Amino acid sequence: MKFLIFIFIFSCASIQSYYSSSAVSPSFDYSKTYKLAIIPLEKSELVKKEDLNRIYETLSMEFINTGKFRLIERKDIDKILNEQGFQYSGMVEPSQAVQFGKILGAELVAIYNVESAEKEGDYYRLGIYLKLINVENGEVMYYSRGRGEGFGKEFAIEDAVKNCLKGLKKWKDCYFYLLFLVLQALN
């Protein structure tokens, strides 16, 4: 039993790794569900437009999977930003993202950037930086770096995005793991 508790504590510890590192603001409320707008990255020198779309879609799915976010649809984001005359391309600055978020009625905005992309044969590596910004006060609520790799771009993208969001899921996952250990110890 002591060994299982040690494994639990070790697995839930905040370990910065090559694949994932994150910082969470003390203001981030894990019990709350936030209305989130993900600002699409329109261009990158490191990956193609289709890969940026895949990153966006994977981020959307993984944010929903955390159970902490309600997403504003991308078509609504594009429509409102176009109506307001915003021209955005490439990396969005945090102050601009806050403006976007207020117009969209979001509580938080997510901005991201591709930091690295490598290919060796069919093996891909990808690195992504992600920020969640409170639109009320401009505070960065969550900042992370996720790296992913795999045979095929889609696997590297999925891995990198999941690693970016690990810091938002970690304690929920550890809670269920602790519950599992307690139930196992009772048997």
Summarize pLDDT for 117-136 with one digit per residue, the tens: 999 999 999 999 999 999 99
Rounded to whole angstroms, the Cα distance separating 100 from 3 reads: 49
Q: Which overall architecture, per CATH, does domain 17-186 show?
A: 3-Layer(aba) Sandwich (3.40)
The yes-or-no verdict on residue 86 having pLDDT over 50 is yes
Torsion of CA 76, 82, 86, 89, to 10 degrees: 80
Which range has the top average pLDDT, 3-7, 11-15, 107-111, 170-174? 107-111
- Indicate the average pLDDT of the chain: 81
- The helix (run of H) or strand (run of E) holding residue 146 is strand 140-151
The yes-or-no verdict on residue 84 having pLDDT over 80 is no
Count of alpha carbons within 13 angstroms of residue 11, beta-carbon side: 16
pLDDT at 187 (0 to 100): 64
Summarize pLDDT for 2-20 with one digit per residue, the tens: 554 444 444 444 434 457 8
pTM exceeding the 0.95 threshold for the entire prediction:
no
Closest CA to 159 of 131, 130, 124: 124
User: Span 167-180, mean pLDDT?
Assistant: 59
Rounded to whole angstroms, the Cα distance separating 33 from 64 reads: 10
pLDDT at 14 (0 to 100): 40
The yes-or-no verdict on residue 31 having pLDDT over 60 is yes
